[in-house]
Amino acid sequence: MTTAVPIGPAGWRTCAPCHAFVRARFLQARCPRSSVLTPFPSSLFPFSLFPFFPFPFFLLPFAFCLLSSPFPFAFLIPSCYSDRSMSEETQEKSSRPLTRKDHFETLSGIPIADYYGPAEGERPGEYPFTRGIRQTMYRGRLWTMRQYAGMGDAVESNARYRFLLEQGQTGLSIAFDLPTQIGLDSDDPLAEGEVGKVGVAIDSLSDMEILLEGIPLDRVTSSMTINATAVILLALYIAVAEKNGVPRSALGGTIQNDILKEYIARGTYIFPPKPSLRIVTDIFEFCSREMPRWNTISISGYHIREAGSTAIQEIAFTLADGIAYVEAMLEQIRRKNLSLTVDDFAPRLSFFFNCQMDFFEEIAKFRAARRLWARIMKERFGARNPKSMQLRFHTQTAGSSLNAQQIDCNVVRTTIEALAAVCGGTQSLHTNARDEALALPTEASARLALRTQQVIAYETGVADVVDPLGGSYYVEELTRRIEEEASRLIEKIDAMGGMLEAIEAAYPQQAIREAAYRYQRAVESGERVVVGVNRFTIEEPPPELFRFDPAIEKRQRERLREFRAGRSGAEVEKSLASLESAARSEENIVPPVLAAVRAGATVGEIVARLKNVFGTYAG
C-alpha cells in the first residue's frame, strides 16, 4: 500500500502572530499535524466570532505586545508554524519540519505530499538516509547554487563572484590557478605561462583580501577547491575574515582538502602521502574546535570520474578515501591523546560527486552512496550522532561530457545531469557552461549555466517532493546493485591494507585507466553515440570565447613584488621558522601557518619550508 505523508504548511512569520488566530480555520483544514489550535473552545475568542460580534479594537495594543513575544501563549501556535527566515542550523535544531511554501501542488492543482512510499518503509531523513538526509529536503530549503569560478588575478575573479551573486547564486566556489595549487608563487620560473590560467592566482594575504572584497563572509558560504596547499588557503581565508570583524567560528564553507584523490586521479600533490594525511587531520582537529560551521574536507569522486572511472568505481574509491581519512584522524586522536571522538569531526566531512549522462544510474548512485556511507560510519566506526552518518555532498555536472562540437548541445547535457543531481538529493550544485570544453566560460555562458539551475528549482516541480524516483523498480534495483558492487570494491581495498596501500600498488589508478579505455573504444567504434561528435555532425563557425589577457601574469608578479617590499622580512622569517619547528613535532600546524600568512609569508615560501620537513612526492 502506498501512503502519502504530508508535512503541513509553513511560512507565517513570528512577527505576525495574529495569523495564528485569523487563519485558524484555514490552518486546521490545511495542517493535519495541528488538528488542535488551542485547548480552549474557539467560541471564547472574539477573533473567531468576528464579524458576528463587534471586534474589541481597544485590546489590539495589548494583544500585539503580548503576542510579539516568542513565549506568551506559545501553546496557541500550531505545530506547523514556522519562520522562513530561519538559518539552516536553526532548522536542523527545530523539532518541527519547515517548508518553503504554505502548500505544494501540481500545475493542475493536485496537492503534493512531502514524499510517497509504503507506510512501513524508510522515510527521508532517517537512517540509512537512502531517500535523503533531511525530512523535507528541498521542500524546506533548496540546494545551494554554487558556480565554480576563478580566473586571472584577484581583481577579475572578485568581479565575477559579485556578478554571480547578483544573478542569484547562493554560495561561492573558488577555483585556483595551477601554481597556487602546487605551492608556487607567481614569480617562480616554473609558474611562467600558467599564472591565472585555470583559476585565480593567490600568492599572499593581500591577494585574498582583494579576492573577497565586498563579500559578506558571515552570510555567504565559500567552497575552495584546493588540496596540497589547502591549509594555507584556509589560513588566508580566516585571516581576511577576522581582519573584517568576522570571527572564525562564524565562517561557513568547505575546503576540498582531499589529497588522496590527487594521487589517484588528478596529480596536484606536493608532499608524500603520509605527511599529507597529517596536514589533513591537523585541519580536522583545528576546525572541530575552532570552526564548527566549516566542512573540513570535500572527499571527491568528481575527479576520479573525470579520469574515466565508472559510477560504481567513483563511489567505491571515494568512500574508501573517506574511510582512510576517518582512520587517520582516529589514529591522531589516540596518538596525541585528544579529547575527541568520531562524532566530534565526522559531521563536518562532506563529499563531492560527478554527475554524468546516464540519468537513472546517477540518481541511484547518489542514493547508494548515502546508504553505504551511513552503514560504514555506524557499523565500522561506531558513530552515534546521525549527522556523522549523513553523506552530504556537492555535485558538479560532468566536464568530460562536454564537447567542442555543437556546443549548444552541452546546455542540454548539463540540464539532464543537473536534474539527475537534484533528483538524487544533492546539497549543492555547479552546472557547467556550454563553452567550457573550449575555454573559461564567458559571462553570458556563466549566467545561462546558473539559470539552468534556477529553472529546475522554480519551474519543474522536482523540488516539491522528496526522492521523486524512490520506489521505481528500476531505480531501486540500480541502487541495490551499485551499493553491492561498490561494497565489493571497498572490501578488496580493505584486503590490500587500506586506500594508502592500494594507491601505492596503483590499484585504483589502473582500474580507472581500464574503464576509461573501454569507454573511449565504445565512442570511437560508434557503439556509444555522442551527438555532434560521432553522429549528427555539421560544419559550424567557431563560437565566441573568453579570451585570457596575457598582461595579467605581469600585473600579478608586480603586485607580489610590491607586497614583499612592504612587509617585515624579520617577522616573516620568524614565523616561517616557527612553522618549520611545528612541522617537525606533533604540534598542529594550522596555527603557525595562520601566523605566517598574517606576518606576510607567501604560499610559495610556506610550501618551501614544509618541503624541508616532509620532502616531495614524485609519483
Residues ≥6 apart with Cβ < 8 Å to 435: 407, 410, 441, 442, 445, 543, 545, 546
Return the exposure string of 51-68: e unless at least 16 CB atoms fall within 10 Å of the residue's CB, then b.
Answer: eeeeeeeeeeeeeeeebe
Q: What is the pLDDT of residues 77-102, one digit of tens each?
A: 233 322 223 344 444 444 556 889 99
Grid cell digits, residue 396: 558538479
Dist CA 560 CA 550 (whole Å):
17
Query: From the CA atom positions of the chain, what is the Rg in Å?
Result: 26
Contact 305, 317 (CB under 8 A): no
For 262-273, what is the mean pLDDT? 95
For 212-228, what is the mean pLDDT? 95
Per-residue model confidence (pLDDT) at position 78: 31
Percent of the chain with pLDDT over 70: 84
Percent of the chain with pLDDT over 90: 79
Provide the mean pLDDT of the chain.
87
Per-residue model confidence (pLDDT) at position 618: 87
Q: What is the pLDDT of residues 163-198, one digit of tens each?
A: 989 998 888 999 999 999 999 999 999 999 999 999
Q: What is the pLDDT of residues 279-332, one digit of tens each?
A: 999 999 999 999 999 999 999 999 999 999 999 999 999 999 999 999 999 999
Per-residue model confidence (pLDDT) at position 10: 33
In the chain, what are the domains? 2-139 (no CATH), 256-437+469-498 (3.20.20.240), 561-614 (no CATH)
Cβ-based neighbour number of residue 182 at 10 Å: 23
For 561-573, what is the mean pLDDT? 97
Per-residue model confidence (pLDDT) at position 169: 87
Q: What is the pLDDT of residues 60-79, one digit of tens each?
A: 444 444 344 333 333 332 33
| 253 Ramachandran zone, left/alpha/beta (phi>0; psi -120 to 50) | left
Per-residue model confidence (pLDDT) at position 476: 98
Contact 220, 260 (CB under 8 A): no
Contact 11, 99 (CB under 8 A): yes
Q: Which of 161-165, 417-421, 483-487 has the lowest mean pLDDT?
A: 161-165
Grid cell digits, residue 480: 541495490
DSSP of 503-569: HHTTHHHHHHHHHHHHHHHHHHHTSS--BTTTBS----PPPP-----THHHHHHHHHHHHHHHTS-H
- Bridge partners of 540? none
Per-residue model confidence (pLDDT) at position 170: 82
pLDDT over 80 (residue 50): no
**Any long-range contacts for 51-56 (C-beta under 8 Å, 24+ apart)?**
none
Which residue, among 331, 345, 424, has the nearest Cα to 377 in the 3D structure? 345
Grid cell digits, residue 274: 603520509
For 222-235, what is the mean pLDDT? 97
Dist CA 341 CA 321 (whole Å):
19
Q: What is the pLDDT of residues 248-265, one digit of tens each?
A: 999 999 999 999 999 999
Q: What is the pLDDT of residues 490-523, one digit of tens each?
A: 999 999 999 999 999 999 999 999 999 999 999 9
For 424-450, what is the mean pLDDT? 94
Q: What is the pLDDT of residues 349-400, one digit of tens each?
A: 999 999 999 999 999 999 999 999 999 999 999 999 999 999 999 999 999 9
Dist CA 23 CA 84 (whole Å):
18
Q: Helices 273-290 and 590-599, interaxial angle, to 10°?
A: 80
Return the exposure string of 114-126: e unless at least 16 CB atoms fall within 10 Å of the residue's CB, then b.
Answer: bbbbeeeebbbbe
Return the exposure string of 264-288: e unless at least 16 CB atoms fall within 10 Å of the residue's CB, then b.
Answer: bbbebbbbebebbbbbbbbbbbbbb
pLDDT over 60 (residue 612): yes
pLDDT over 80 (residue 123): yes
pTM: predicted TM-score of the whole model, two decimal places: 0.83
Residues ≥6 apart with Cβ < 8 Å to 374: 127, 128, 129, 389, 390, 391
Per-residue model confidence (pLDDT) at position 482: 98
Residue 128: asked if its preceding bond is cis (omega within 30°), the reply is yes
pLDDT over 60 (residue 40): no
